[in-house]
Amino acid sequence: MAMFKTDPVRPDAYREFERPLPEWFRGAALGIFVHWGPYSVPAWAEPTGELGAVPREEWYAHNPYAEWYANTMRIEGSPAQMHHERVHGGAPYDDFLDAWKAEDFDADEVLAVVAATGAGYFIPTTKHHDGVTLWDAPGTDGRNTVARGPRQDLIGAFADATRAAGLRFGVYYSGGLDWHFSGLPPIEHDDDPAPDDLAYAEYAHDHVIDLIDRYRPDILWGDIRWPVAGIEPGPKSLAHAFQTFYERVPDGVVNDRWGESHWDFRTSEYVHGTAVEVGEAWENTRGIGLSFGHNRNETNEHLLSAHEAVRLLVDVVSRGGNLLLNIGLEASGRIPELQRQTLEGIGVWNRHYGHAVVGARPEGRMPASDEPWIRWTRTDDAVHAVVDQTGPVRLPDPDRVLDESTARIGERHVTAERVDGGILVDVEDAVTPVAISFRTRD
């Protein structure tokens, strides 16, 4: 699969879809992901660690992703299985679908919080690995949120609210796994089987076409891969889905988790797959916590603070990527309070310094530093040093790229003087990390 491969190869039949990455995506800097489903009812996982930091032999039985509950609860002897027996009496997973009421859900309210972060796009899950669709998808025989549980077209509500808020809208779709459709045993190892047959490939194809026809998403965000039987071009193939997408949305983009087929940008997840973080067509995704789905076991120690999230955003943009930061809604439809605090803090920072990340590119002439913490970006008329420090700050500039007389923090001119191959700026009374902007001498 293309997911996390350093050098995936496009089949010849998919080369027709290659195109320049649209500027709206390249310059977005920040997207907000949301995972929400029946798994939000138990909302349980072990907060063991980040993907890429937990040993693979431990990952599945001790999965920190609450959205994997339907898998983890079936692994013999796993803590999730013991929790499920103790708390839910071993009930069928679909009982959670019927218990999921989304009684406090207001898409406009969620998107108001999302838009206030300064994000450029928003992507909800439309079908995760449990196979439950958040719209009345074809062929689901009522196993969707219109017929059961919330009894709403949640994707339609998100699409309308996203566009009303002025953001681009994307859809996540799990093509590589569907535990309900396939009926396969739980996944306990990386090489355990996934659904690859023609029946599933055509079922998934019809879902993606329906999403395109109904909601005209700007982003198709696939996950895991695509069933092998659906790769070869044909009337119900992935190639047909991509052709339909680009006809309907010419400036749309797709990620690289559709198997080894086609992609407009690469993806990494937490600290896994970071070898793809090169150039300027990649995206790092992670939850605010260790899970994408809401996990009641997560506390402040497991979640990014606003300060940590801002540093991650700046670091990603300074290296050429976008950050897709996930929130896991509660079953009721509300944003968990600790996650809301992080989002609001990002928004405060972006209102001060968003000009240093939105529409920005890496500034390769200036070296990043961790002591003090400095990251560099550039826009059309400025170079920005984002510094996590107050008081006197020395910015290295041995090649005299920067014009120290133009130093600004936001709209405020600040005094800067050239010393010992660098520029000394006194940073006071600023929201940190602080962005110090300069015009260049060239």
Whether 373 and 419 share a structural domain: yes
pLDDT above 60: residue 250: yes
* Whether residue 119 sits in one domain with residue 196: yes
For residues 431 and 438, give the distance between their C-alpha atoms in angstroms, rounded to a whole number.
Answer: 18
Portion of the chain with pLDDT greater than 90, in percent: 93
Tell me how crowded residue 58 is: count the other CB atoms within 10 A of its CB. 12
With contact defined as beta carbons under 8 Å apart, do 392 and 378 qualify? no
235 is in which domain, residue-wise?
Answer: 12-356
Q: Is the pLDDT of residue 442 over 80?
A: no
H/E/C letters for each residue in the chain?
A: CCCCCCCCCCCHHHHHHCCCCCHHHHCCCEEEEEECCHHHCCCCCCCCCCCCCCCHHHHCCCCCCHHHHHHHCCCCCCHHHHHHHHHHCCCCCHHHHHHCCCCCCCHHHHHHHHHHCCCCEEEEEEECCCCCECCCCCCCCCCECCCCCCCCCHHHHHHHHHHHCCCEEEEEEECCCCHHHHCCCCCCCCCCCCCCCHHHHHHHHHHHHHHHHHHCCCEEEEECCCCHHHCCCCCCCHHHHHHHHHHHCCCCEECCCCCCCCCCCEEEECCECHHHCCCCCEEEEEECCCCCCCCCCCCHHHCCCHHHHHHHHHHHHHCCCEEEEEEECCCCCCCCHHHHHHHHHHHHHHHHHHHHCCCCEECCCCCCEECCEEEEEEECCEEEEEECCCEEEEEECCCCCEEEEEEEECCEECCEEEECCEEEEEECCCCCCEEEEEEECC
Q: What is the pTM of this model?
A: 0.97
Same domain membership, residue 323 and residue 375: no
- In angstroms, the CA 310 to CA 292 distance is 18
In a domain, 185, yes or no: yes
**Residue 2: predicted pLDDT:** 57
* Domain boundary pick from 292, 327, 356: 356
Q: What is the largest CA-CA distance in the chain?
A: 71
Res. 374: pLDDT tops 90: yes
Residue 210's φ and ψ, nearest 5 degrees, are -65, -40
* Residue 180 included in any domain: yes
As a whole number, the mean pLDDT across the chain is 96
pLDDT tens-digit profile of 8-44?
A: 889 999 999 999 999 999 999 999 999 999 999 999 9
Whether residue 337 has pLDDT greater than 60:
yes
Q: Are residues 172 and 143 in the same domain?
A: yes
Domain finish residue from 356, 385, 412 = 356
Residue 2 lies in a domain: no
- Domain assignment of residue 6, yes or no: no
Residue 45 near residue 68, CB atoms below 8 Å: yes
| pLDDT band with cut points at 50, 70 and 90 for residue 1 | very low
Task: Tell me the backbone φ, ψ of residue 222, rounded to 5 degrees.
Answer: -85, 165
Please indicate, yes or no, if residue 318 is contained in any of the structural domains.
Answer: yes
| Same-domain check for residues 29 and 145 | yes
The number of distinct structural domains making up the chain is 2
Q: Is residue 81 in some structural domain?
A: yes
Compute the distance between CA of residue 423 and CA of residue 54 in angstroms, rounded to an integer. Answer: 42
Residues constituting the chain? 442
CATH number for position 47: 3.20.20.80
Q: Nearest CA to 316 among 371, 254, 377? A: 377
Say if residue 389 is in the same domain as residue 259: no
Task: Report whether pLDDT(150) > 70.
Answer: yes
Q: State the average pLDDT over residues 70-78.
A: 98
Do 290 and 374 belong together in one domain?
no
Answer whether residue 215 is part of any domain: yes
Query: Which domain-ending residue is among 302, 323, 356?
Result: 356
Same domain, 161 and 31: yes
HSE, side-chain direction, 13 A CA sphere, residue 215:
32
User: Could you tell me if 385 and 256 lie in one domain?
Assistant: no
Query: Residue 3: inside a domain, yes or no?
Result: no
For the residues 398-403, what does the mean pLDDT come to? 92
Are 374 and 299 in the same domain?
no
Among 109, 111, 220, 214, residue whose Cα is nearest residue 163: 111
- The C-alpha atoms of residue 115 and residue 19 are separated, in whole angstroms, by 28
Residues 134 and 235 in one domain: yes
CATH code at position 394: 2.60.40.1180
Residues 369 and 420 in one domain: yes
Q: What phi, psi does 371 have (nearest 5°)?
A: -140, 95
